[in-house]
């Protein structure tokens, strides 16, 4: 005799039941946990910006953020303005201060601007919002933290770069969604990120960015004006992604920085 579980009707009913149970369970969990997850993501953005600015608790070779509890206060104390630049076709239309932006956008914090969405807007020929976070670093110098986003080998990579008004890098933070552990994932390690500190983005008055170079003749990275840092072995494509996102995204801020100097 045919087993009960072999019948087509049973199979269909089981499949429907399973989908309902599993779907309901996942939907319930996702909606209950969502507020906590959003809050964690919000804090993470603040921590990343603070890290690039140099507000962190780094130990020896490890990159360590400030604690969750301290983050909101430190962010408020250290970031004194969040400027939003509106650009179209690579040209700056207008520059909004934090207060002006909030007034126009229901009090939305500029650091929560979704860079991916803005990049898509720019692709569609619409206005792209370019956030810029102004803070003081440890030496009391004003630094400009720029968010950037690009593609690695497997998925998105992004980061924050802290610059002074001469477009010299004072700190960076990189992160990724799914680069290979041990290879591309190492872009968020100190040995890689610290190499960027002091690097110049300009060369002889022209914007060059920073290139992640394989077989760099300067692995100790003593030469800060060569617009190059040493690549990670086995992570060529992730490295190229970092080079590309620095070049394309920072370039958009170029005329803002030129105005600053004048």
Partner 1 sequence: MGLLSKKDSKLILDPLADNNPITIQVLGICSALAITAELEASIVMSISVLFVLGVGNVIISLIRNIIPSKIRIIVQLIVVAALVIIVDLVLKAFAYELSKTLSVFVGLIITNCIIMGRFEAFALGNGPWRSFLDGIGNAFGYGVILIIVGFFRELLGSGTLLGFPILGDPIEKTGLYAFGYENNGFMLLSPMALIVVGLIIWVQRSKNKALIED
What residues make contact with partner 1 under the rule CB under 8 A?
3, 5-6, 10-11, 14-15, 18, 22, 25-26, 29-30, 33, 36-37, 40, 44, 61, 175, 177-183, 185, 219-220, 233-234
Residue 197 near residue 170 (C-beta atoms within 8 A): yes
Q: What's the closest the beta carbon of residue 94 comes to partner 1, in angstroms?
A: 36
Return the number of the residue (75 or 253) whose C-beta is nearest partner 1: 75
**Collapsed DSSP state (helix, strand, coil) of residue 240:** helix
In the complex with partner 1, which residue's Cβ is closer, 185 or 252? Answer: 185
Nearer to partner 1 by C-beta: 74 or 87? 74
- Taking the least distance from each CB to partner 1, the nearer of 179 and 240 is 179
Residue 22 vs 93, nearer CB to partner 1: 22
CA-nearest of 240, 211, 205, 247 to 228 is: 211
Q: Smallest distance, Å, CB 132 to partner 1?
A: 25
Query: Sign of the C-alpha dihedral, residues 100, 105, 111, 117?
Result: negative
* Residue 135 Cα distances to 51, 101, 139, angstroms: 12, 18, 11
Q: Least CB distance from residue 149 to partner 1, whole Å?
A: 17
Please, what is the minimum distance in Å from the beta carbon of residue 26 to partner 1?
6
- Choice between 84 and 153, CB closer to partner 1: 153
Q: How far is the CB of 3 from partner 1 (least distance, A)?
A: 8
Phi, psi of 28, deg, nearest 5: -60, -50
Given phi > 0 = left and psi -120 to 50 = alpha, else beta, which region is 205? Answer: left
**Torsion sign over Cα 184, 130, 110, 108:** negative
Cα angle, residue 181 at apex, residues 179 and 187 outer, rounded to 5°: 60
CB of 99 to partner 1, least distance (A): 30
């Amino acid at each position: 005799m045919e087993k009960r579980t072999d019948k087509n009707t049973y199979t269909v009913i089981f499949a429907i039941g399973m989908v309902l149970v599993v779907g309901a369970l996942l939907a319930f969990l996702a909606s209950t946990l969502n507020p906590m997850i959003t809050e964690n993501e919000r804090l993470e953005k603040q921590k990343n910006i603070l890290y690039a600015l140099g507000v962190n608790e780094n130990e020896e070779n490890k990159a360590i953020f400030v604690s969750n509890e301290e983050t909101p206060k430190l962010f408020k104390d250290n970031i004194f303005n969040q400027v939003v630049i509106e650009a179209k076709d690579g040209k700056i239309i207008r520059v909004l201060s934090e207060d002006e932006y909030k007034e126009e956008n229901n009090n939305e914090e500029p650091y929560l601007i979704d860079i991916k969405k803005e990049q898509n807007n720019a692709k569609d020929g619409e206005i792209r919002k370019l956030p810029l976070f102004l803070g003081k670093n440890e030496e009391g110098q004003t630094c400009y933290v720029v968010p950037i986003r690009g593609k690695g080998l497997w998925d998105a990579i992004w980061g924050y770069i802290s610059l002074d008004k001469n477009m010299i890098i004072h700190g960076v933070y990189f992160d990724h969604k799914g680069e290979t552990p041990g290879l591309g994932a190492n872009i968020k390690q100190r040995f890689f990120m610290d190499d960027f500190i002091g690097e110049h983005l300009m060369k002889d008055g022209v914007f060059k960015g920073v290139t992640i170079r394989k077989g760099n003749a300067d692995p100790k990275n003593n030469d800060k004006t060569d617009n190059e840092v040493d690549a990670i072995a086995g992570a060529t494509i992730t490295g190229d992604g970092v080079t590309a996102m620095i070049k394309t995204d920072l370039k958009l801020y170029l005329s803002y920085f030129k105005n600053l100097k004048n």
